[in-house]
Every structure is written in structure tokens, then in C-alpha cells.
């Protein structure tokens, strides 16, 4: 497939990609001369998006959330725009030739398509080792993984979860409340759940008193927390990650030499950026995220009109609220660069819009359906506010506007 339009290609159909596409279609394309010559192309291996933060609860049962709000069709969300300006491509970016400004897409139909871009936005996010906690492939695969877990749960007596960040803490809390009830303890729990973290405490982004409170709330749901404990090996090595090994009995060796055998192993140990299709010269050597100008969101190493946002980028810490704050900056700078590219004088289009990450303590962590810990804008907030904002429905009240574009009106 070829196109004679000026392609604004957005790779990745989640918080970063969908938000950027809506913003550009609403606020950039209509302001360009010859607007019919521009086409926003959104590339995603999944035709649906999922409200990812809801995964720790959603994985338990379809009854946890209205499924039509948890999973939302991407093409439907963009049917509001003129078809001459928008194209959804169901596929995966497999190679970026940033010198010749071409990107190769492997389509779901098994065809391969190489497109030239006028502007490019990288929003391919990051994957968790466990397929239970996000779109490692598409929503069909995510649902299959949840089904496998749900079939295994009735026969499960022991669960080991690795990772003391919000994903591990929330998953431990949700599973333990579901399996052991709201009032339990590690010694009486029907299903023994152990959460292991290599750090000295849980939730390193929050103050120590909130981490201690989280550990105490988990204990009251029956979860044993092991801090300063690193998983050094797992047997079988693919346990908890690959399709066929998702629910196998696993023996975990810890750095103090102890071994724990569990019926289920869930690795919630951070994420890996989905940047394998990019040249290594574009990536941060340490964490393989796209080296991005944190003020302008441009990828300065690639040549003109290339940007990155979200968990694949070094622009900020990985979080939805950072993406929401960055989208208007990205949109304004894309608009500015496109106007200059079509001949407008720099002095008439204004300067760059600048992004600045809010570095204050800010994270909300539900622990079961009624409790939680958190801080916002540097202030500790009460558990019931954590429940109200997040624990009640895991942001379902808020994400609909991101998917539909209302948030960016």
C-alpha cells in the first residue's frame, strides 16, 4: 500500500498514541494549509485498547468491570474524523529507517508495508514480563491469558509475585482479597500469597510511612511480604511469562539461597520498552527507551519532525498522568514544525511549547477493593480518597474521555 499524502505516522495505540492522534486531528490538521493532503496513520497490533491500570483487578473475572468500558475499539473512536485525514493500520512496526524517513509495518493480514513519513510519533510503550498486565500482543491474547489464570485459580494454593512496585502490590492485594477475603493474615490465609521485592521496602516512589502502611494492609489481606529479597532464578525459566508456562508450578530461588515453590508465579518486575524496531543509536544505553528531548518531546537524533511520548520514551517517568500532561506540548510542537515545513516563517508560528515533569511525590495504590495508599502533588492522601479516585474503578471514570478524544476537545 502506498499513499501520496503527507503521513503523520503514530506508532502504538494506547495512552500516548491514541491521545496524540486525537490531539493532532483536532488541533493541528485543521490549522494546516491544504489540510486534505495530511493523513494521520495510527499503527497498533491490537484493534482495541485496554485500560491498563485496571489489569490487576480485571484479570480475576469479567464481572469486575463493564467489559465494553475496559476494552474499547480504536477504529470506532476515530470514526468521527474525515476518512481523508485518518487511517488505522492493524499491524506492528518492525523497522524504522530514520535516515530515509521510512517505517516498515507488518500488517495483521501478513502483508508488509513500508511507508514514508512526514512526521512520526513513537508511542509503543513498554511490556511487562507477565502477559496478564498489559498488551504484550493484542486484547485477544490478553483475554486468553486471563482465562488461563482464572482456570488455574480454583486449584491454586500458593502464589508468588515478584516486584514491589504498584503492579506487584496491586496484583497481590486484589488476588488475596478475592481468594482469602477482606480479613485474613499470612498464617491463616487459604491461599498463601508471597510478594517478593529486592528493595528495602515496597513502593519506592512513595515515602517510607506509606510503604509501611501498604505492607500492613497487604498483611491484613493475607499476603506475606519479603523485602530485601531478590529472585535469582526461576524454574522453569519461562514461568509466568510465556503462553504455555503462564500457570505452571514454579520453583523460585532467592538471593539468600532459599527456594520457594508456588503453584503460580507472577513476574511484576518492571517493564521493557517496546523499542526493538529502532536503531540502537536512538536509544538510551541503560534502559533502551527512546532518547527524547524532555522539554520539546522531539527525538533530536532522528532528523526533523520525530517525537516520542509515553513509556517507550525517556521524556519522563512512566505514568498515564505524565502522558496526559505531555500531549498538549507534543501537539503544539508538531503543529509548529508542520507549519514551518510548509513554508511559514518561524517568527509567525511562535516558540516551542515546553514540557516539565511534575517531580512531586504522586502515586495512588489501591490495596483490595476498599483500601489503599497514595500521595498527590507531594501530599499524602487518605485511603478513602485513593479508593474514590482509583480503587473504586481503576480510573474507568476517566479513561473513556481519553479513548473518545473528549479529553482533547
Ligand X SMILES: Cc1cc2nc3c(=O)[nH]c(=O)nc-3n(C[C@H](O)[C@H](O)[C@H](O)COP(=O)(O)OP(=O)(O)OC[C@H]3O[C@@H](n4cnc5c(N)ncnc54)[C@H](O)[C@@H]3O)c2cc1C
Residue (25 or 254) nearer to ligand X, CB: 25
Dist CA 306 CA 301 (whole Å): 9
Binding to ligand X (CB under 6 A) within 57-116 occurs at 92-93
Binding to ligand X (CB under 6 A) within 200-229 occurs at none
Shortest distance, CB of residue 346 to ligand X, whole angstroms?
30
Residue (37 or 106) nearer to ligand X, CB: 106
For ligand X, the binding residue among 22, 23, 52, 288 (CB under 6 A) is: 52
Determine the interface stretch with ligand X among 45-53, 258-266, 293-301, 333-341 (rule: CB under 6 A): 45-53
Bridge partners, residue 159, by sequence: 193, 264
For ligand X, the binding residue among 9, 43, 266, 330 (CB under 6 A) is: 43
For ligand X, the binding residue among 53, 372, 374, 405 (CB under 6 A) is: 53
Binding to ligand X (CB under 6 A) within 162-201 occurs at 166-167
Binding to ligand X (CB under 6 A) within 15-34 occurs at 15-17
Region of 23 please: left (phi>0), alpha (psi -120 to 50) or beta: alpha
CB 358 within 8 Å of CB 383: no
For ligand X, the binding residue among 40, 103, 135, 402 (CB under 6 A) is: 135
Shortest distance, CB of residue 271 to ligand X, whole angstroms?
7
Residue (44 or 229) nearer to ligand X, CB: 44
Residue (13 or 267) nearer to ligand X, CB: 13
Determine the interface stretch with ligand X among 11-19, 200-208, 256-264, 281-289 (rule: CB under 6 A): 11-19
For ligand X, the binding residue among 28, 44, 229, 269 (CB under 6 A) is: 44
Q: Are strands 371-376 and 363-367 parallel, antiparallel or unpaired?
A: antiparallel
Site for ligand X contains 55 (CB under 6 A): yes
Binding to ligand X (CB under 6 A) within 292-321 occurs at 310-311, 318-321
Q: Which of 277, 284, 349 has the alpha carbon at shortest distance from 315?
A: 284
Dihedral pair phi/psi, residue 108, rounded to 5°: -60, -20
Q: How big is the chain by its Cα radius of gyration, in Å? A: 22
CA angle, 319 then 322 then 49, to 5°: 60
Determine the interface stretch with ligand X among 33-41, 128-136, 144-152, 397-405 (rule: CB under 6 A): 128-136
Shortest distance, CB of residue 142 to ligand X, whole angstroms?
10
Region of 212 please: left (phi>0), alpha (psi -120 to 50) or beta: alpha
Binding to ligand X (CB under 6 A) within 388-407 occurs at 390
CB 56 within 8 Å of CB 170: yes
Site string for ligand X, 258-297 (x = CB under 6 A): ----------------x--x--------------------
Number of residues this chain uses to bind ligand X (CB under 6 A):
37
Exposure of 75 by Cβ count < 10 A (0-12 exposed, 13-18 middle, 19+ buried)? Answer: middle
Determine the interface stretch with ligand X among 110-118, 125-133, 198-206, 251-259 (rule: CB under 6 A): 125-133
For ligand X, the binding residue among 28, 85, 124, 139 (CB under 6 A) is: 124
Q: Given the rule CB under 6 A, which residues bind ligand X?
A: 11-17, 43-46, 52-53, 55-56, 92-93, 123-126, 128, 133-135, 166-167, 274, 277, 310-311, 318-321, 323, 390
Amino acid at each position: 500500500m502506498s499513499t501520496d499524502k503527507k503521513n503523520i505516522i503514530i506508532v502504538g495505540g494506547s495512552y500516548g498514541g491514541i491521545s496524540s492522534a486525537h490531539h493532532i486531528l483536532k488541533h493541528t490538521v485543521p490549522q494546516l494549509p491544504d489540510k486534505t493532503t495530511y493523513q494521520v496513520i495510527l499503527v497498533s497490533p491490537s484493534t482495541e485498547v485496554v485500560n491498563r491500570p485496571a489489569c490487576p483487578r480485571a484479570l480475576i473475572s469479567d464481572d469486575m468491570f463493564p467489559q465494553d468500558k475496559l476494552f474499547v475499539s480504536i477504529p470506532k473512536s476515530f470514526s468521527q474524523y474525515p476518512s481523508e485525514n485518518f487511517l488505522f493500520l492493524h499491524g506492528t512496526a518492525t523497522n524504522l529507517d530514520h535516515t530515509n524517513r521510512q517505517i516498515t509495518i507488518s500488517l495483521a493480514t501478513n502483508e508488509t508495508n513500508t511507508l514514508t513519513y512526514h512526521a512520526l510519533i513513537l508511542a509503543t510503550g513498554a511490556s511487562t514480563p507477565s502477559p496478564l498486565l498489559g498488551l504484550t500482543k493484542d486484547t485477544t491474547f490478553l483475554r486468553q491469558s486471563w482465562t488461563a489464570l482464572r482456570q488455574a485459580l480454583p486449584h491454586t494454593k500458593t502464589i508468588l509475585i515478584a516486584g514491589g512496585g504498584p503492579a506487584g502490590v496491586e496484583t497481590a492485594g486484589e488476588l488475596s482479597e478475592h481468594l482469602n477475603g477482606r480479613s485474613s493474615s499470612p498464617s491463616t490465609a487459604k491461599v498463601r500469597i508471597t510478594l517478593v521485592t529486592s528493595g528495602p521496602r515496597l513502593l519506592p516512589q512513595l515515602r517510607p510511612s506509606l510503604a509501611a502502611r501498604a505492607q500492613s494492609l497487604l498483611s491484613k489481606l493475607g499476603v506475606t511480604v519479603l523485602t530485601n529479597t531478590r529472585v535469582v532464578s526461576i524454574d522453569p525459566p519461562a514461568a509466568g511469562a510465556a503462553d504455555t508456562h503462564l500457570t505452571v508450578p514454579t520453583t523460585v530461588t532467592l538471593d539468600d539461597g532459599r527456594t520457594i515453590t508456588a503453584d503460580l508465579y507472577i513476574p511484576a518486575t518492571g517493564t521493557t520498552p517496546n523499542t526493538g524496531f529502532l536503531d540502537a543509536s536512538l536509544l538510551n544505553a541503560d534502559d533502551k527507551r527512546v532518547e527524547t528531548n524532555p522539554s520539546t518531546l522531539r527525538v533530536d537524533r532522528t532528523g526533523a519532525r520525530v517525537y516520542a511520548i509515553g513509556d517507550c520514551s525517556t521524556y519522563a517517568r512512566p505514568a498515564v498522568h505524565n502522558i496526559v500532561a505531555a500531549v498538549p506540548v507534543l501537539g503544539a510542537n508538531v503543529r509548529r514544525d508542520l507549519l514551518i515545513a510548509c513554508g511559514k516563517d518561524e517568527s509567525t508560528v511562535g516558540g516551542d511549547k515546553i514540557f516539565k515533569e511534575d517531580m512531586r511525590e504522586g502515586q495512588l495504590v489501591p490495596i483490595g477493593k476498599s483500601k489503599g495508599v497514595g500521595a498527590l502533588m507531594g501530599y499524602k492522601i487518605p485511603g478513602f480518597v485513593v479508593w474514590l479516585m482509583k480503587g473504586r474503578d481503576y480510573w474507568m471514570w476517566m479513561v473513556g474521555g481519553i479513548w473518545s478524544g473528549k479529553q482533547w476537545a
